[in-house]
Amino acid sequence: MKLCVLASSSSGNCTFISTGTTRILIDAGLSAKKTAERLAEIGERVEDVDAICVTHEHGDHIAGIRVLQKKHGIPVYANAGTLDGIRTAGQGGAIECRQFMTGSKFEIGELALEPFSIPHDAYEPVGFVVRSETCTVGLATDIGIVTNLLREKLRKCQIIVIEANHDEELLHAAARPWSLKQRILSNQGHLSNRASAGLISDVAGDELLHLFLAHLSSDCNSPAHARQMFETTLAAAGHDHVRVYLTGADGVSEVLEME
């Protein structure tokens, strides 16, 4: 399996996952041009992408899907709530979607995907567990609060892509409206470094090897704050074997390839 977070931030989210014969994107929040450029950086072609699987309808997760489908014929997969959200936002007319049911597994080529519910202020937001014959990936970003379902789905994963949106002190000090801070801190908002690191230390076992920190806020977090919180928390829980990777808006993450 090959995995790379092409971008992750409030300005655009897109994760590439492939096996030998199957290539998918989780979300397509970059422009179609930028998506193609970042795929080329890691030796992949946008024309070879087999599907785009959408977590929810917010613009930083779907901005590129219409052009990607129109230019390259890439199938788009989403659940009913997300489709309603896309149509309500006036973006669904030119998009043909294949509908999946939250909680029900489906397959795309060599990959088996299981969408599961997560708390966020969207119509029907999901995370994904993505399995190949040899590897399991858990992806969950834009999460308001840690749930037992989230813990259950992330256990036994070898790779996790998880939200680490903000540092609480930096958020409180940021020059943002209080209403926006309340939204971020709500049960339908975003996970802090501390909450997310606690989640990962709870679910990590010998299986978990690689951890990508996603959706870092540009003004309420920093790579240094996020990395320190996770590495310290994981080490205290006896999981210092887990390698932590950073993601961001300005470029692709490290490329991970596992046999």
Angle at 50 between CA 22 and CA 31, to 5 degrees: 125
Residues contacting residue 15 through CB under 8 Å, at least 6 positions apart = 3, 4, 5, 6, 8, 25, 26, 27, 139, 161
Which tens digits make up the pLDDT trace of 197-255? 999 999 999 999 999 999 999 899 999 999 999 999 999 999 999 999 999 999 999 99
Distance CA 30, CA 9 (A): 10
Distance CA 45, CA 149 (A): 35
Residue 94: per-residue pLDDT: 66
Question: Can you give the residue ranges of every domain in the chain?
Answer: 1-100, 143-248
Residue 259: per-residue pLDDT: 80
Residue 12: per-residue pLDDT: 96
DSSP state of 65: H
Residue 214: per-residue pLDDT: 97
**Closest CA relative to residue 55, chosen from 22, 15, 19, 89:** 15
Which tens digits make up the pLDDT trace of 89-138? 765 556 888 999 999 999 999 999 999 999 999 999 999 999 999 999 99
Residue 39: per-residue pLDDT: 98
- Residues 256 and 4: beta-carbon distance below 8 Å: yes
Which tens digits make up the pLDDT trace of 172-181? 888 888 898 8
Instruction: Label residue 28 exposed, middle or buried (CB < 10 Å: 0-12, 13-18, 19+).
Output: buried
CA 47 to chain centre: 22
Residue 93: per-residue pLDDT: 58
Which tens digits make up the pLDDT trace of 46-103? 999 999 999 999 999 999 999 999 999 999 999 999 999 888 776 555 688 899 999 9
In order of 6, 93, 139, 247, 248, the CA distances from 212 in angstroms are: 12, 34, 9, 7, 10
Residue 174: per-residue pLDDT: 84
Q: Do the domains 1-100 and 143-248 sit in the same CATH topology, yes or no?
A: yes
Q: Which CATH superfamily is domain 143-248 in?
A: Ribonuclease Z/Hydroxyacylglutathione hydrolase-like (3.60.15.10)
Length of the chain: 259
Q: Domain 1-100: give its CATH code.
A: 3.60.15.10
State yes or no: pLDDT of 19 exceeds 90. yes
Distance CA 212, CA 206 (A): 17
Residue 90: per-residue pLDDT: 67
Distance CA 115, CA 68 (A): 22
Residue 205: per-residue pLDDT: 92
Distance CA 35, CA 77 (A): 17
Residue 230: per-residue pLDDT: 97
C-alpha torsion angle, residues 44, 46, 51, 52 (rounded to 10): 100
- Residues 16 and 46: beta-carbon distance below 8 Å: no
